[in-house]
């Protein structure tokens, strides 16, 4: 029998969002306001108009989905704007019950003549810290009625870039003319890796992870191995966008060459037909071994349902999404937003979408919720993380009892 979960329960339980892009998660009102301030031309200057022309519920292609980022990135070229956007994202997440969040963005994408990549990171940290302090010093938290809020920052390198994406990339491409394109992207990612390690050591900023984002097919993670080796040796956790637009081999490369602790999306994990290596003669065995390895090593999979439905036309509905297969294989699956604005979603909406379309047991639902906290690259000590996760579990159990939802 299908588990019936009240919407109010999903709204009230503590939630985590481990895969959320800053430049895809602005408030529409803020985008309009900042565009007017900075002279950025938009196709419409009302929220309704932008929903109709840019930020839709359905997109015809990945190209259309990505179009909105050209507008959001254009207003994120100074520290005050980035800080404001980060603060508001923290507020919005807290308001819907998110108690742990890892915000990712590509600092080099926002570097220009008046803003460094380091300053962009500091602005994100300031904005999120302000939202955190407001919540954590509230009467509800102080009285133990609400859980505190924690966050981390994930710095994204880009699999591919061009000179039009930012002044930083334009300068890099123009300077390193003696190198191949794959070498140039590798140099950029290694520079980012060294930068964040230095900032963590010297400024103690909550930069908890290193990611690789951008166009997956044709731009292998292997180009960025030096960067991943560097952060790996300096105790920075790793995640990689992989298996989203490419097959299982991309995930294999992420875990074997980039030491990935988590996988971003992993949607095509079970797509054996996408394997291109001719040396793989038993494709099903390859996929099974890969899934079993992920499960046994507790390598988390950051699932983003709405985003996948919008960018992968081959997935017609949540019922066709491989999330249930991932759960069946024992993978530590987490449910995330990806882009709150571009996908018009929240973690609560993603959870509602899941329980309405996937037949979960009470234990599976609880595991999904708790996995979001256990799989997080928590910025504090491991003992602090364990105490926080214990609070999350206790809160979940109490709400389950209140709503008459079994735990097993």
Q: Pick the catalytic residue: 83, 244, 249, 350? A: 244
Q: What is the 3-state secondary structure (H, E, C) of the chain?
A: CCCCCCHHHHHHCCEEEEEEEHHHCCCHHHHHHHHHHHCCCCCCCCHHHHHHHCCCCCCCCHHHHHHHHHHHHHCCCCHHHHHHHHHHHHHHHHHCCEEEEEEEECHHHCCECCECHHHHHHHHHHHHHHHHHHHHCCHHHHCCCCCCCEEEEEEEEECCCCCCCCHHHHHHHHHCCCCCHHHHHHHHHHHHHHHHHHHHHHHCCCEEEEEEECCCCCCCHHHHHHHHHHHHHCCCEEEEEECCCCCHHHHHHHHHHCCCCEEEECCCCCCHHHCCCCCCCCHHHHHHHHHHHHHHCCCEEEECHHHHHHHCCCCCCHHHCCHHHHHHCCCCEEECCECCCCCCCCHHHHHHHHHHHCCCCHHHHHHHHHHHHHCCCCCCCHHHHHHHHHHHHHHHHHHHHHCCCCCC
Give the Cβ contact number of residue 328 at 10 Å: 11
Active site residue 244: yes
Kindly tell me the sign of the dihedral angle through the C-alpha atoms of 373, 374, 375, 380.
Answer: positive
Cα distances (angstroms) measured from residue 243 to each of 103, 235, 240, 365: 20, 25, 9, 24
Residues classed as catalytic:
244
């Amino acid at each position: 029998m299908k588990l019936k979960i009240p919407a109010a329960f999903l709204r009230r339980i503590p939630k985590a969002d481990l895969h959320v892009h800053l430049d895809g998660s602005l408030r529409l009102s803020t985008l309009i306001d900042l565009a007017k301030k900075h002279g950025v031309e938009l196709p419409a200057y009302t929220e309704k108009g932008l929903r109709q022309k840019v930020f839709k519920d359905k997109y015809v292609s990945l190209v259309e989905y990505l179009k909105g980022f050209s507008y959001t990135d254009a207003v994120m070229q100074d520290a005050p704007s980035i800080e404001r956007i980060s603060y508001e994202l923290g507020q919005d997440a807290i308001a819907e019950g998110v108690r742990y969040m890892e915000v990712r963005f590509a600092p080099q994408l926002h570097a220009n003549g008046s803003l460094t990549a380091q300053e962009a990171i500091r602005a994100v940290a300031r904005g999120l810290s302000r939202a955190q302090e407001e919540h954590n010093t509230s009467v509800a938290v102080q009285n133990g009625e609400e859980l505190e809020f924690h966050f981390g920052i994930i710095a994204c390198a880009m699999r591919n870039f061009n000179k039009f994406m930012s002044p930083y990339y334009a300068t890099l491409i123009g300077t390193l003319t003696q190198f191949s394109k794959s070498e140039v992207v590798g140099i950029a990612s290694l520079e980012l890796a060294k930068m964040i390690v230095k900032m963590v050591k010297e400024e103690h900023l909550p930069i908890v992870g290193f990611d690789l984002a951008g166009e997956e097919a044709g731009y292998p993670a292997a180009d960025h191995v030096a960067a991943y080796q560097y952060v790996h040796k300096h105790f920075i956790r790793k995640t990689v966008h992989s298996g989203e637009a490419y097959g299982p081999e991309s995930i294999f490369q992420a875990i074997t060459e980039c030491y990935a602790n988590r996988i971003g999306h992993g949607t095509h994990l079970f797509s054996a037909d996408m394997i291109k290596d001719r040396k793989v003669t038993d494709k099903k065995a390859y996929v099974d071994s890969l899934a079993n390895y992920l499960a046994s090593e507790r390598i988390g999979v950051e699932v983003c349902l709405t985003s996948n439905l919008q960018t992968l036309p081959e997935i017609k509905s949540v019922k066709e999404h491989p999330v249930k297969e991932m759960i069946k294989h024992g993978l530590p699956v987490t449910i995330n937003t990806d882009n709150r604005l571009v996908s018009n979603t929240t973690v609560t909406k993603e959870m509602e979408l899941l329980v309405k379309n996937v037949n979960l047991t009470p234990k599976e639902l609880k595991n999904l919720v708790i996995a979001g906290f256990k799989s997080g690259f928590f910025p504090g000590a491991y003992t602090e993380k364990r105490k926080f996760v214990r609070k999350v579990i206790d809160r979940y159990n109490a709400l389950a009892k209140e709503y008459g939802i079994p735990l097993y």
